[in-house]
Chains A and B, each alone.
Chain A
Amino acid sequence: MSETLTVPETVILEVFRYRPEVESEPTFDSFEVPFHPEWMILDALNYIKDDLDGSLSYRWACRMGVCGSCGMLANGQPVLTCATYLESLLPGPIRIEPLEGFPVIRDLVGDIGDFMNKLSDVKAWLIRDEEKPVEDGEYLQTPSQLDDYKQYSMCINCMLCYSACPVYRLEPEFIGPAAIALAQRYNLDSRDEGAEERMDVLSQHDGIWGCTLVGECTEVCPKGVDPAGAIQRYKVSATMDYFKSLLMPRSSS
Protein backbone atom coordinates (compact mmCIF):
# COMPACT_ATOMS: atom_id res chain seq x y z
CA MET A 1 0.00 0.00 0.00
CA SER A 2 1.51 3.29 -1.04
CA GLU A 3 -0.89 5.78 0.45
CA THR A 4 -4.09 5.68 2.43
CA LEU A 5 -6.64 8.35 1.66
CA THR A 6 -8.79 9.56 4.50
CA VAL A 7 -12.27 8.60 3.38
CA PRO A 8 -15.10 9.80 5.61
CA GLU A 9 -17.62 7.24 6.79
CA THR A 10 -20.56 9.57 6.38
CA VAL A 11 -21.38 12.86 4.72
CA ILE A 12 -24.03 15.45 5.61
CA LEU A 13 -26.58 16.52 3.01
CA GLU A 14 -28.55 19.70 3.65
CA VAL A 15 -31.65 19.22 1.57
CA PHE A 16 -34.09 21.95 0.57
CA ARG A 17 -37.57 21.09 1.86
CA TYR A 18 -40.81 22.74 0.85
CA ARG A 19 -44.03 21.10 1.92
CA PRO A 20 -46.79 23.55 0.98
CA GLU A 21 -49.34 21.89 3.26
CA VAL A 22 -47.05 22.35 6.26
CA GLU A 23 -44.92 25.42 5.65
CA SER A 24 -45.20 28.61 3.60
CA GLU A 25 -41.43 29.15 3.45
CA PRO A 26 -38.90 26.47 2.57
CA THR A 27 -36.48 25.03 5.12
CA PHE A 28 -33.41 22.81 5.04
CA ASP A 29 -33.25 19.31 6.53
CA SER A 30 -29.90 17.75 7.37
CA PHE A 31 -29.35 14.06 6.65
CA GLU A 32 -26.30 11.99 7.47
CA VAL A 33 -25.75 9.42 4.74
CA PRO A 34 -23.03 6.79 4.39
CA PHE A 35 -20.20 7.81 2.11
CA HIS A 36 -19.19 5.51 -0.72
CA PRO A 37 -16.65 6.72 -3.27
CA GLU A 38 -18.75 5.31 -6.11
CA TRP A 39 -21.93 7.07 -5.01
CA MET A 40 -23.45 9.92 -6.95
CA ILE A 41 -25.55 12.62 -5.26
CA LEU A 42 -28.62 10.82 -6.57
CA ASP A 43 -27.57 7.63 -4.74
CA ALA A 44 -27.45 9.62 -1.52
CA LEU A 45 -30.90 11.09 -2.18
CA ASN A 46 -32.27 7.62 -2.88
CA TYR A 47 -30.73 6.45 0.38
CA ILE A 48 -32.50 9.27 2.23
CA LYS A 49 -35.81 8.38 0.60
CA ASP A 50 -35.43 4.65 1.25
CA ASP A 51 -34.03 4.71 4.77
CA LEU A 52 -34.38 8.12 6.40
CA ASP A 53 -37.37 10.11 5.13
CA GLY A 54 -39.75 8.63 2.58
CA SER A 55 -41.51 11.96 2.12
CA LEU A 56 -38.62 13.60 0.24
CA SER A 57 -39.70 14.45 -3.33
CA TYR A 58 -37.41 14.74 -6.36
CA ARG A 59 -37.32 13.69 -9.98
CA TRP A 60 -35.05 11.07 -11.48
CA ALA A 61 -35.28 8.27 -14.01
CA CYS A 62 -32.36 6.89 -16.00
CA ARG A 63 -29.33 7.24 -13.66
CA MET A 64 -27.03 7.57 -16.67
CA GLY A 65 -27.18 11.20 -17.71
CA VAL A 66 -29.52 10.95 -20.68
CA CYS A 67 -33.05 11.54 -19.37
CA GLY A 68 -32.41 15.01 -17.98
CA SER A 69 -34.72 14.58 -14.98
CA CYS A 70 -32.42 14.85 -12.00
CA GLY A 71 -30.98 18.34 -12.41
CA MET A 72 -30.57 20.16 -9.07
CA LEU A 73 -28.29 22.66 -7.42
CA ALA A 74 -25.43 21.10 -5.50
CA ASN A 75 -23.69 23.74 -3.39
CA GLY A 76 -25.30 26.35 -5.65
CA GLN A 77 -24.06 24.85 -8.92
CA PRO A 78 -26.58 23.34 -11.38
CA VAL A 79 -25.64 19.67 -11.94
CA LEU A 80 -27.12 16.34 -12.98
CA THR A 81 -27.22 14.59 -9.63
CA CYS A 82 -26.82 11.19 -11.29
CA ALA A 83 -23.53 12.30 -12.83
CA THR A 84 -21.93 14.14 -9.90
CA TYR A 85 -19.87 12.14 -7.43
CA LEU A 86 -20.44 12.82 -3.74
CA GLU A 87 -16.66 12.67 -3.53
CA SER A 88 -16.33 15.77 -5.71
CA LEU A 89 -18.14 17.84 -3.06
CA LEU A 90 -16.37 16.62 0.05
CA PRO A 91 -16.02 17.31 2.94
CA GLY A 92 -19.58 18.62 3.04
CA PRO A 93 -22.12 19.50 4.21
CA ILE A 94 -23.48 19.34 0.67
CA ARG A 95 -26.40 21.67 0.05
CA ILE A 96 -29.02 20.31 -2.36
CA GLU A 97 -31.63 22.71 -3.78
CA PRO A 98 -34.09 22.65 -6.67
CA LEU A 99 -33.07 24.28 -9.96
CA GLU A 100 -33.43 28.04 -9.89
CA GLY A 101 -35.78 29.85 -12.22
CA PHE A 102 -38.63 27.38 -11.88
CA PRO A 103 -41.39 27.69 -9.25
CA VAL A 104 -41.06 24.92 -6.68
CA ILE A 105 -43.99 22.55 -6.36
CA ARG A 106 -42.52 20.49 -3.55
CA ASP A 107 -39.04 19.84 -2.11
CA LEU A 108 -36.71 19.46 -5.10
CA VAL A 109 -39.43 19.32 -7.75
CA GLY A 110 -39.86 22.40 -9.93
CA ASP A 111 -42.68 23.26 -12.32
CA ILE A 112 -41.13 22.90 -15.77
CA GLY A 113 -44.30 23.68 -17.76
CA ASP A 114 -42.86 26.98 -18.96
CA PHE A 115 -39.90 25.27 -20.63
CA MET A 116 -42.15 22.66 -22.22
CA ASN A 117 -44.30 25.39 -23.78
CA LYS A 118 -41.24 27.21 -25.09
CA LEU A 119 -39.95 24.03 -26.67
CA SER A 120 -43.10 23.83 -28.77
CA ASP A 121 -43.11 27.60 -29.43
CA VAL A 122 -39.78 27.34 -31.24
CA LYS A 123 -41.01 24.32 -33.27
CA ALA A 124 -38.14 22.05 -32.30
CA TRP A 125 -38.92 19.43 -34.91
CA LEU A 126 -38.26 18.88 -38.63
CA ILE A 127 -40.38 21.15 -40.81
CA ARG A 128 -40.69 20.55 -44.55
CA ASP A 129 -42.61 22.52 -47.12
CA GLU A 130 -43.50 19.30 -48.81
CA GLU A 131 -42.92 15.74 -47.63
CA LYS A 132 -41.57 13.53 -50.38
CA PRO A 133 -43.36 10.24 -50.94
CA VAL A 134 -42.01 7.18 -49.13
CA GLU A 135 -41.10 5.53 -52.46
CA ASP A 136 -38.54 8.26 -53.07
CA GLY A 137 -36.48 6.98 -50.15
CA GLU A 138 -34.70 8.66 -47.28
CA TYR A 139 -33.49 12.20 -46.93
CA LEU A 140 -29.80 11.59 -47.33
CA GLN A 141 -27.21 13.52 -45.41
CA THR A 142 -23.42 13.68 -45.65
CA PRO A 143 -21.25 13.31 -42.52
CA SER A 144 -20.39 16.99 -42.83
CA GLN A 145 -24.09 17.95 -42.90
CA LEU A 146 -24.67 15.79 -39.82
CA ASP A 147 -21.74 17.50 -38.16
CA ASP A 148 -23.40 20.91 -38.63
CA TYR A 149 -26.10 20.24 -36.04
CA LYS A 150 -25.03 17.13 -34.14
CA GLN A 151 -23.66 19.04 -31.16
CA TYR A 152 -27.00 20.78 -30.59
CA SER A 153 -28.91 17.51 -30.91
CA MET A 154 -27.16 16.23 -27.78
CA CYS A 155 -29.45 18.37 -25.57
CA ILE A 156 -31.36 16.24 -23.05
CA ASN A 157 -33.70 19.02 -21.83
CA CYS A 158 -32.28 18.90 -18.31
CA MET A 159 -32.75 22.68 -17.89
CA LEU A 160 -29.47 23.21 -16.07
CA CYS A 161 -28.84 26.03 -18.56
CA TYR A 162 -32.08 27.78 -17.52
CA SER A 163 -31.06 27.52 -13.92
CA ALA A 164 -27.66 29.07 -14.71
CA CYS A 165 -29.13 31.87 -16.83
CA PRO A 166 -29.66 35.14 -14.91
CA VAL A 167 -31.67 36.58 -17.80
CA TYR A 168 -34.23 33.79 -17.51
CA ARG A 169 -34.48 34.25 -13.76
CA LEU A 170 -35.02 38.01 -14.11
CA GLU A 171 -37.21 37.86 -17.23
CA PRO A 172 -39.06 34.55 -17.39
CA GLU A 173 -40.47 35.51 -20.82
CA PHE A 174 -37.00 34.87 -22.31
CA ILE A 175 -37.19 31.78 -24.51
CA GLY A 176 -33.95 30.60 -22.97
CA PRO A 177 -30.81 28.67 -23.88
CA ALA A 178 -31.95 25.09 -24.51
CA ALA A 179 -35.03 25.99 -26.58
CA ILE A 180 -32.97 28.29 -28.81
CA ALA A 181 -30.17 25.71 -29.14
CA LEU A 182 -32.77 23.12 -30.17
CA ALA A 183 -34.32 25.53 -32.69
CA GLN A 184 -30.81 26.00 -34.07
CA ARG A 185 -30.38 22.21 -34.16
CA TYR A 186 -33.23 22.01 -36.70
CA ASN A 187 -32.26 25.20 -38.56
CA LEU A 188 -28.83 23.74 -39.27
CA ASP A 189 -30.24 20.38 -40.36
CA SER A 190 -30.01 20.02 -44.14
CA ARG A 191 -33.40 18.23 -44.18
CA ASP A 192 -35.22 21.07 -42.47
CA GLU A 193 -37.02 23.97 -44.17
CA GLY A 194 -38.52 25.71 -41.13
CA ALA A 195 -35.86 28.34 -40.36
CA GLU A 196 -38.10 31.20 -41.47
CA GLU A 197 -41.05 30.03 -39.36
CA ARG A 198 -38.81 29.77 -36.32
CA MET A 199 -37.27 33.16 -36.99
CA ASP A 200 -40.68 34.78 -36.30
CA VAL A 201 -40.52 33.55 -32.71
CA LEU A 202 -36.78 33.77 -32.18
CA SER A 203 -36.02 37.21 -33.58
CA GLN A 204 -38.26 38.80 -30.93
CA HIS A 205 -36.90 40.64 -27.92
CA ASP A 206 -37.77 37.62 -25.76
CA GLY A 207 -35.93 35.40 -28.24
CA ILE A 208 -32.27 35.63 -29.20
CA TRP A 209 -32.02 39.36 -28.41
CA GLY A 210 -32.91 38.73 -24.79
CA CYS A 211 -29.58 36.95 -24.38
CA THR A 212 -26.82 39.16 -22.99
CA LEU A 213 -24.16 36.46 -23.32
CA VAL A 214 -23.35 35.70 -19.73
CA GLY A 215 -22.19 32.32 -21.04
CA GLU A 216 -23.04 30.28 -17.94
CA CYS A 217 -25.46 28.05 -19.89
CA THR A 218 -22.54 26.65 -21.85
CA GLU A 219 -20.47 26.24 -18.68
CA VAL A 220 -23.04 24.09 -16.89
CA CYS A 221 -24.24 22.03 -19.88
CA PRO A 222 -23.50 18.36 -19.10
CA LYS A 223 -23.66 17.43 -22.79
CA GLY A 224 -21.35 20.04 -24.35
CA VAL A 225 -24.20 21.56 -26.35
CA ASP A 226 -22.97 25.17 -26.09
CA PRO A 227 -26.32 26.99 -26.07
CA ALA A 228 -24.56 30.37 -25.74
CA GLY A 229 -22.76 29.70 -29.01
CA ALA A 230 -26.02 28.64 -30.68
CA ILE A 231 -27.69 31.90 -29.68
CA GLN A 232 -24.79 34.09 -30.84
CA ARG A 233 -24.70 32.27 -34.20
CA TYR A 234 -28.41 32.87 -34.48
CA LYS A 235 -27.88 36.59 -33.81
CA VAL A 236 -25.30 36.75 -36.58
CA SER A 237 -27.54 35.01 -39.11
CA ALA A 238 -30.58 37.12 -38.11
CA THR A 239 -28.52 40.28 -38.61
CA MET A 240 -27.26 39.06 -42.00
CA ASP A 241 -30.84 38.29 -43.05
CA TYR A 242 -31.91 41.76 -41.98
CA PHE A 243 -29.22 43.48 -44.04
CA LYS A 244 -29.88 41.19 -46.99
CA SER A 245 -33.56 42.13 -46.95
CA LEU A 246 -32.54 45.80 -46.68
CA LEU A 247 -30.14 45.61 -49.63
CA MET A 248 -32.14 43.21 -51.75
CA PRO A 249 -35.79 43.75 -50.76
CA ARG A 250 -37.04 41.86 -53.77
CA SER A 251 -35.17 38.61 -53.20
CA SER A 252 -37.47 35.84 -52.07
CA SER A 253 -35.90 34.76 -48.78
Chain B
Amino acid sequence: MNPGYRLYYPRWYRKRVPIFWWLHKRSYAVFIARELTSVFVVYAAAVVVALVLTLNKGEPAWEAAMSRLSHPLVITAHVLVLFVILFHTITWLNLAPMAIVVKLGDRKVPPTAVLIGHYGAWFACSVVVAWLLLWR
Protein backbone atom coordinates (compact mmCIF):
# COMPACT_ATOMS: atom_id res chain seq x y z
CA MET B 1 0.00 0.00 0.00
CA ASN B 2 1.08 3.58 -0.63
CA PRO B 3 1.20 5.28 2.78
CA GLY B 4 0.85 8.74 1.21
CA TYR B 5 -2.52 7.88 -0.31
CA ARG B 6 -5.73 9.25 1.17
CA LEU B 7 -9.11 8.13 -0.06
CA TYR B 8 -10.88 10.65 -2.32
CA TYR B 9 -7.74 12.77 -2.73
CA PRO B 10 -6.28 12.44 -6.22
CA ARG B 11 -2.55 11.81 -6.37
CA TRP B 12 -1.40 12.57 -9.88
CA TYR B 13 1.78 11.17 -11.26
CA ARG B 14 3.73 13.85 -13.14
CA LYS B 15 6.55 12.71 -15.34
CA ARG B 16 9.62 14.93 -15.25
CA VAL B 17 11.00 16.13 -18.56
CA PRO B 18 14.66 15.06 -18.78
CA ILE B 19 17.23 17.73 -19.75
CA PHE B 20 18.21 15.70 -22.79
CA TRP B 21 14.63 15.19 -23.97
CA TRP B 22 15.71 16.31 -27.43
CA LEU B 23 17.97 13.29 -27.85
CA HIS B 24 15.02 10.90 -27.50
CA LYS B 25 13.67 11.42 -30.99
CA ARG B 26 15.40 12.18 -34.27
CA SER B 27 12.97 14.96 -35.19
CA TYR B 28 13.60 16.70 -31.85
CA ALA B 29 17.36 16.50 -32.40
CA VAL B 30 17.03 18.00 -35.89
CA PHE B 31 14.91 20.78 -34.44
CA ILE B 32 17.49 21.61 -31.77
CA ALA B 33 20.24 21.52 -34.42
CA ARG B 34 18.29 24.02 -36.49
CA GLU B 35 17.79 26.27 -33.45
CA LEU B 36 21.49 26.14 -32.56
CA THR B 37 22.50 27.20 -36.06
CA SER B 38 20.93 30.61 -35.33
CA VAL B 39 23.96 31.30 -33.12
CA PHE B 40 26.12 31.10 -36.24
CA VAL B 41 23.75 33.40 -38.12
CA VAL B 42 24.21 35.95 -35.33
CA TYR B 43 27.99 35.44 -35.53
CA ALA B 44 28.04 36.08 -39.29
CA ALA B 45 25.92 39.21 -38.87
CA ALA B 46 28.24 40.43 -36.10
CA VAL B 47 31.30 39.96 -38.36
CA VAL B 48 29.67 42.07 -41.09
CA VAL B 49 28.70 44.81 -38.60
CA ALA B 50 32.22 44.79 -37.15
CA LEU B 51 33.68 45.18 -40.66
CA VAL B 52 31.40 48.13 -41.39
CA LEU B 53 32.52 49.79 -38.13
CA THR B 54 36.17 49.11 -39.04
CA LEU B 55 35.68 50.89 -42.36
CA ASN B 56 35.02 54.04 -40.37
CA LYS B 57 38.33 53.75 -38.51
CA GLY B 58 40.51 54.29 -41.55
CA GLU B 59 42.68 52.22 -43.80
CA PRO B 60 45.22 50.74 -41.31
CA ALA B 61 42.42 49.30 -39.16
CA TRP B 62 40.76 47.86 -42.28
CA GLU B 63 44.01 46.28 -43.50
CA ALA B 64 44.57 44.72 -40.05
CA ALA B 65 41.06 43.28 -40.04
CA MET B 66 41.58 41.88 -43.53
CA SER B 67 44.83 40.18 -42.59
CA ARG B 68 43.17 38.65 -39.55
CA LEU B 69 40.30 37.37 -41.70
CA SER B 70 42.64 35.85 -44.28
CA HIS B 71 44.36 33.61 -41.74
CA PRO B 72 43.90 29.98 -42.91
CA LEU B 73 42.26 28.96 -39.63
CA VAL B 74 39.74 31.80 -39.86
CA ILE B 75 38.99 30.94 -43.48
CA THR B 76 38.44 27.26 -42.57
CA ALA B 77 36.17 28.26 -39.69
CA HIS B 78 34.20 30.62 -41.92
CA VAL B 79 33.72 27.97 -44.59
CA LEU B 80 32.21 25.75 -41.87
CA VAL B 81 30.04 28.66 -40.70
CA LEU B 82 28.88 29.09 -44.29
CA PHE B 83 27.66 25.50 -44.43
CA VAL B 84 25.89 25.82 -41.09
CA ILE B 85 24.15 28.98 -42.28
CA LEU B 86 23.18 27.26 -45.53
CA PHE B 87 21.56 24.48 -43.46
CA HIS B 88 19.72 27.13 -41.45
CA THR B 89 18.56 29.02 -44.53
CA ILE B 90 17.39 25.97 -46.45
CA THR B 91 15.47 24.42 -43.54
CA TRP B 92 13.98 27.85 -42.84
CA LEU B 93 12.90 28.52 -46.43
CA ASN B 94 11.43 25.02 -46.71
CA LEU B 95 9.03 25.90 -43.89
CA ALA B 96 7.75 29.03 -45.64
CA PRO B 97 4.79 27.40 -47.45
CA MET B 98 3.52 26.21 -44.07
CA ALA B 99 3.19 29.79 -42.80
CA ILE B 100 2.26 31.57 -46.00
CA VAL B 101 -0.98 30.52 -47.67
CA VAL B 102 -1.86 32.90 -50.48
CA LYS B 103 -5.22 33.01 -52.18
CA LEU B 104 -5.74 34.62 -55.55
CA GLY B 105 -9.47 35.06 -55.89
CA ASP B 106 -10.95 31.63 -55.17
CA ARG B 107 -7.80 29.68 -55.90
CA LYS B 108 -5.04 28.77 -53.52
CA VAL B 109 -1.51 29.42 -54.73
CA PRO B 110 0.23 25.99 -54.65
CA PRO B 111 2.85 25.59 -51.87
CA THR B 112 5.59 24.89 -54.44
CA ALA B 113 4.99 28.34 -55.96
CA VAL B 114 5.52 29.93 -52.52
CA LEU B 115 8.67 27.87 -52.15
CA ILE B 116 9.97 28.85 -55.59
CA GLY B 117 9.21 32.50 -54.80
CA HIS B 118 11.34 32.34 -51.66
CA TYR B 119 14.27 30.59 -53.32
CA GLY B 120 13.98 33.01 -56.23
CA ALA B 121 14.15 36.02 -53.88
CA TRP B 122 17.16 34.48 -52.11
CA PHE B 123 18.91 33.91 -55.43
CA ALA B 124 18.15 37.46 -56.62
CA CYS B 125 19.53 38.97 -53.37
CA SER B 126 22.64 36.81 -53.67
CA VAL B 127 23.20 37.96 -57.27
CA VAL B 128 22.91 41.62 -56.22
CA VAL B 129 25.38 41.12 -53.35
CA ALA B 130 27.77 39.18 -55.59
CA TRP B 131 27.57 41.91 -58.22
CA LEU B 132 28.34 44.59 -55.60
CA LEU B 133 31.29 42.66 -54.17
CA LEU B 134 32.86 41.01 -57.17
CA TRP B 135 32.16 42.94 -60.35
CA ARG B 136 31.83 46.51 -59.31
When C-beta atoms are compared, the residue in chain A nearest to B21 turns out to be A166
CB pair B13–A214 under 8 Å, yes or no, is: no
Q: How far is the CB of B134 from chain A (nearest CB, A)?
A: 35
CB pair A24–B17 under 8 Å, yes or no, is: no
Whether A232 contacts B28 in the complex (CB less than 8 A), given A20-B13, A104-B13, comes out as no
CB pair A212–B35 under 8 Å, yes or no, is: yes
CB pair B13–A232 under 8 Å, yes or no, is: no
Q: Most chain-A CB neighbours within 10 Å: which of B12, B107, B108? A: B12
CB pair B99–A24 under 8 Å, yes or no, is: no
Interface range on chain B: under 10, 10 to 19, 20 to 34, or 35 or more? 20 to 34
In-complex Cβ contact of B4 among A24, A26, A111 (8 A): A24
Chain A contacts with B in 12-47, Cβ cutoff 8 A: 18, 20-26
User: How many angstroms between the C-alpha atoms of A100 and B18 in the bound complex?
Assistant: 12
Whether A215 contacts B31 in the complex (CB less than 8 A), given A100-B15, A229-B99, comes out as yes
- Give every chain B residue within 8 A of A142 (Cβ-Cβ): 106
Q: How far is the CB of B73 from chain A (nearest CB, A)?
A: 34
Chain A contacts with B in 218-244, Cβ cutoff 8 A: 219, 226, 228-229, 232-233, 235-236
CB pair B10–A166 under 8 Å, yes or no, is: no
In-complex Cβ contact of A24 among B2, B15, B28 (8 A): B2
Interface assignment of B64: CB less than 8 Å from any CB of chain A:
no
CB pair A103–B13 under 8 Å, yes or no, is: yes
Q: Most chain-B CB neighbours within 10 Å: which of A20, A23, A25, A76? A: A20
In-complex Cβ contact of A169 among B17, B100, B101, B106 (8 A): B17
CB pair B5–A229 under 8 Å, yes or no, is: no
CB pair B27–A215 under 8 Å, yes or no, is: yes
Interface assignment of A216: CB less than 8 Å from any CB of chain B:
yes
CB pair A144–B106 under 8 Å, yes or no, is: yes
Whether A219 contacts B27 in the complex (CB less than 8 A), given A18-B13, A103-B14, A105-B12, comes out as yes
Interface assignment of A246: CB less than 8 Å from any CB of chain B:
no
Chain B contacts with A in 89-108, Cβ cutoff 8 A: 95, 98-101, 103, 106-108
User: How many angstroms between the C-alpha atoms of A205 and B107 in the bound complex?
Assistant: 33
Whether A214 contacts B99 in the complex (CB less than 8 A), given A24-B4, A111-B12, comes out as no
Q: How far is the CB of B33 from chain A (nearest CB, A)?
A: 12
- Give every chain A residue within 8 A of B98 (Cβ-Cβ): 226, 228-229, 232-233
User: How many angstroms between the C-alpha atoms of A22 and B7 in the bound complex?
Assistant: 12
When C-beta atoms are compared, the residue in chain B nearest to A228 turns out to be B98
Whether A216 contacts B28 in the complex (CB less than 8 A), given A169-B17, A169-B21, comes out as yes
Interface assignment of A7: CB less than 8 Å from any CB of chain B:
no
- Give every chain B residue within 8 A of A169 (Cβ-Cβ): 17, 21
Q: How far is the CB of A58 from chain B (nearest CB, A)?
A: 15
Interface assignment of B42: CB less than 8 Å from any CB of chain A:
no
Instruction: Map CB proximity to B onto A69-102 as digits: 1 under 8 Å, 0 otherwise.
Output: 0000000100000000000000000000000100
- Give every chain A residue within 8 A of B27 (Cβ-Cβ): 214-216, 219
A169-B17, A232-B98 known; 6 new pairs, CB 8 Å cut-off, are A20-B2, A111-B10, A144-B106, A166-B17, A233-B99, A236-B99
Chain A residues close to B by CB (< 8 Å): 18, 20-26, 76, 100, 103-105, 111, 142, 144, 147-148, 166, 169-170, 212-216, 219, 226, 228-229, 232-233, 235-236
Chain B residues close to A by CB (< 8 Å): 1-2, 4-5, 7, 10-15, 17, 21-22, 24-25, 27-28, 31, 35, 95, 98-101, 103, 106-108
Which 10 pairs show the lowest CB-CB distances between chains A and B?
A232-B99, A103-B12, A20-B11, A144-B106, A104-B13, A229-B98, A214-B31, A21-B5, A103-B14, A18-B13
